[in-house]
Chain A
């Protein structure tokens, strides 16, 4: 029997399929769009093609209470902390860079959440920042990563606000600055916002959609914090954690 965890985020809905020994068997990702039921149904249907799924579904995230299917909902912070502790089994700090928010979670020695902070009122420092800029410049956000790899120097983006940053960047392009250097500046701006959330120590674990698609962000962080790590498929951590929270509770 297999369990499904679904993280209903504001931009994407993430699903994981977990076996009885709590190992992830499969991942599936769909755009959230306007209907949480539709996006989660697509995930459940996809997994049901090959596997027999146990109800309830374990959910977390922004849209977790809107499902029609039988489900148990969890806080995404608890879920994220659970998954990270399950994988690393140590006291650590987590930075989760998602589509519309950036979270900082401090986990203690026994896996409990000690501290939590998030940025939720502003797109600066989140995936939306990248997406909006990519949209305005008419490049795909995934191209950004390879751009930044070619950067020769760092440019500082002075604007805090995404809307203003776009105007600033358009001006930079006009003044002949190259895309790779500008894009590196964009990534650094996201990092600055993350590091404003808390004093981050050596035990940093980076999660969320951004490190998955923009691996350069981990490399940039490692310049400051050499021991920082990011789990594979870090976008699915909260979905995984919501299954773990409940199976462990039962056991």
Chain B
């Protein structure tokens, strides 16, 4: 019987750790997936705990895992075997969840990356936001906090907008005052949130057009499960006469983690076959 190859992918983000256990083959199978908030703790400790709890659930020991791969800010984890750049893991995870995708847009807490990929999930070209948090998930999170809307409800709230009001600037920090102003002018919460979504979508569409993105476009990262965000992107693409088809997946937040685990399995087999030749 062929030996089973288990790999773990750990994606350390700015506020959340995403971890998954997969059985690696040509058709990888997801056995487990978890998220854990870092909350001012040491990310390494949190990642270790998550990994241990996954192993326990599946009656596995650390030695049973062929490859522990990290991505994101996970470079410092001591128990990893290898680290992959976010760009490659999100590309791989994006195409794994959305077969046939030609572009992946990772919408994370701090950055948005638009990545053009080939059919194997390899990165051809990419564009990302730098310098400024205006297009990031953190922006949405801050605003939802001011408005007292739970982050899980932001998407649904946005869908109820009738007359969205965009913030006058793009700065996440200054938007706070802008939002206070909107509230005092009687703008409804859905309209404010939709406005924020549109302002982020605006940035994403600009990234996509400058990348000359090809459709279908897979949306990944924490914001991809926010229906309001996805709808805002679709609306703006339509308005700009861009014939983009957007796809997303309920596990979109795990794109980096899945991608890392899959690349880990790939590298494990490659190392094994290289060693075989040497021996």
| A residues at B contact (CB < 8 Å) | 10-11, 33-35, 100, 120-123, 128-129, 132, 159-164, 167
Contacts and interface: CB of A to CB of B under 8 A. Distances in A.
A163 B170 contact: no
Given A164-B110, A167-B110, A123 B184 contact: no
A161 B132 contact: yes
Contacts of A10: 177
Nearest to A133: B173
B174 A161 contact: no
B181 interface: yes
Given A100-B177, A123-B171, 18 more contacts: A11-B177, A33-B180, A34-B184, A35-B184, A120-B169, A121-B174, A122-B170, A123-B172, A123-B173, A128-B174, A161-B132, A161-B133, A162-B133, A162-B173, A163-B110, A163-B136, A163-B139, A163-B172
Given A10-B177, A34-B180, A35-B184, A122 B169 contact: yes
Chain A interface, DSSP helix/strand/loop, else mixed: loop
Interface centre among B14, B110, B138, B171 (most CB of A within 10 A): B171
A129 B169 CA distance: 15
Contacts of B133: 161-164
Given A121-B170, A121-B171, A167-B110, A160 B132 contact: yes
Nearest to B173: A123
Given A10-B177, A34-B181, A160-B132, A167 B171 contact: no
A30 B175 CA distance: 21
Interface of B: 14, 110, 131-133, 136, 138-139, 169-174, 177, 180-181, 183-184
A169 to B, nearest CB: 13
B172 A121 contact: no
Contacts of A164: 110, 131, 133
A167 B14 contact: yes
A63 B180 CA distance: 13
23 contacts: A10-B177, A34-B180, A100-B177, A121-B169, A121-B170, A121-B174, A122-B171, A122-B174, A123-B173, A123-B174, A128-B173, A132-B173, A161-B172, A162-B133, A162-B171, A162-B173, A163-B138, A163-B139, A163-B172, A164-B110, A164-B131, A167-B14, A167-B110
Nearest to A99: B177
A162 B172 CA distance: 9
A122 B169 CA distance: 8
A167 B136 CA distance: 14
A35 B169 CA distance: 20
Contacts of A122: 132, 169-171, 174
A207 B181 CA distance: 26
Contacts of A33: 180
B171 to A, nearest CB: 5
A129 B173 CA distance: 8
